[in-house]
Amino acid sequence: MRIGNRNVPKKSRIVSLILKCIVIVSAVAGTALSAAAGSRAFMGGRTVFMYFTIQSNIASALICALGFCRMLNDRQIDRIRYIIKFVITVSITLTGAVFVFMLAPTLGPKAWNIHNTLTHVVVPVAAVLDFFVIDTDVRVKKTTALYVTIPPVLYVIYAAIGYVRGWQFSEGYNYPYFFLNWGSRAGVFGFANELPFMGSAWWILILLLFLLAVGYGYLALADRIIAKRSCSFRPMEEKHDCAIAELIRTNLKAHGLDIPGTVYFDDNLNHLSTFYLADPGKRIYYVLTDPRGKLMGGVGIAEFDGIPDCAELQKLYLCDDAKGKGLSYRMMEKVEGAARERGYKRIYLETHDNLKVAIHLYEKCGYTEIERPASVVHSTMNRFFRKEL
């Protein structure tokens, strides 16, 4: 992830710096106010640092302070720092979720004081937003989500040791949160009709599953954001011919449409640039490439059957690595914008009935299915769509 790169949009840098400041100030203020609240307050007094909430707040503040300094110094953040930030972000998410959905309902109105709001709501929200706002080109494996279990597991061990040794997390309590009370009526694996309703082991299992779900979700969303930021569109050049031809054929074979003798597999497919570059005022083909220049997809438009104000969307394809990241919608927006620039009033497209994903995409983009136009007599495709621009 490169947040110090000079090519990062100024707006993203400013927003990220502001969010980091919010995290740092809120975490420090919330921790100080919690400590000043006294031992009779929930998570207050001199034992405040024994709670996962404060520990995760401090960790979030430190990682944001480090990121703030590196951004000001125009330095990059490497994979290790990105993973650490990811793990801390998920941990602070757990802090906010546990408080809002589990602790606050049991504490009542007194839960929503200033220091609880800062440490359980403001810091988590700002930290999560900052994780997604900063520009990044680092991608990690989905199995990285397993790392998010490390901080809470370590804390469970820490709290269990405190329970056995009789540490006072707050006045009269040798456990930090009700679901870590091993001596409750529910015990470890049991159930009860009163708080905590089920044993600590079940609570821990549920929270770990929640963490994994959040971790995988964050990585999936980050991957989509990275793909949208890092991939670029540009008009095709002659050098793209072979790569586009291979991409189209690969996609057609994957859907069982590799029919010998069709237009898809003739030699003209290797010379698409000759067609699209011959009259750029009426037609254009855009290629989608990653930061290294690798072809990720393509889509084109051309005049539809000689009708001056109607365009036809042609050859929309993506490689497997680019699918599922929202890039197809960006490609549609790009080519529709190009159609408007060329004076087209509507767009037609035709596709095969078994391309269900493509049909779903077209419908979500506002295309309406119509009957086959009378002028279209030579086509192996059986679904036609139209959209007014």
pLDDT tens for the chain, 389 residues long, are 333 344 456 777 889 999 999 999 999 999 999 999 876 666 778 899 999 999 999 999 999 999 999 888 877 677 888 999 999 999 999 999 999 999 899 888 888 999 999 999 999 999 999 999 875 666 778 899 999 999 999 999 999 999 999 999 988 899 999 999 999 999 999 999 998 999 999 999 999 999 999 999 999 888 878 777 777 888 988 888 888 888 888 887 777 765 554 444 444 566 788 888 888 888 899 998 877 778 888 999 999 887 778 999 988 888 887 787 788 888 899 899 999 999 999 999 988 887 888 899 999 999 999 887 776 655 666 788 999 98
Instruction: Indicate left, alpha or beta for 227 from its phi (over 0: left) and psi (-120 to 50: alpha).
Output: alpha
Q: What pLDDT sits at residue 260?
A: 53
90, 128 contact by CB (below 8 A): no
The 10 Å CB-count burial string (b at 16+, else e) for 144-155 is bbeebbebbeeb
What six digits make up the tokens of 97?
């979720």
What's the pLDDT score for residue 39?
66
- Predicted confidence at residue 265, as pLDDT, reads 46
pLDDT given for residue 240 in this prediction: 87
Furthest-apart CA pair in the chain: how many Å? 85
Q: Given this model, what pLDDT does residue 270 score?
A: 66
Give Cα 174 distance to the centre of its chain.
39
Among candidates 112, 22, 97, which has minimal Cα distance to 60?
A: 22
- How many beta carbons lie within 10 A of that of residue 172, not counting itself? 8
pLDDT for residue 376? 66
Q: How far apart are CA 33 and CA 35, in angstroms?
A: 5
Residue 196 to residue 186: CA distance in whole angstroms: 7
The 10 Å Cβ neighbour count of residue 226 is: 17
Q: Please, are residues 175 and 162 in contact by the beta-carbon 8 Å criterion?
A: yes
Alpha-carbon torsion (72, 74, 80, 85), positive or negative? positive
Asked if 343 and 335 count as a contact pair (C-beta separation under 8 A), the reply is: no
Q: What is the pTM of this model?
A: 0.71
Distance CA 167, CA 242 (A): 69
Cis check: omega of the bond before 196, within 30 degrees of 0: yes
pLDDT score of 356: 85
pLDDT for 263 equals 47
Domains and CATH numbers, the chain: 10-230 (no CATH), 232-388 (3.40.630.30)
Sign of CA dihedral 326, 332, 335, 339: negative
Q: Determine contact, residues 268/278, Cβ cutoff 8 Å.
A: no
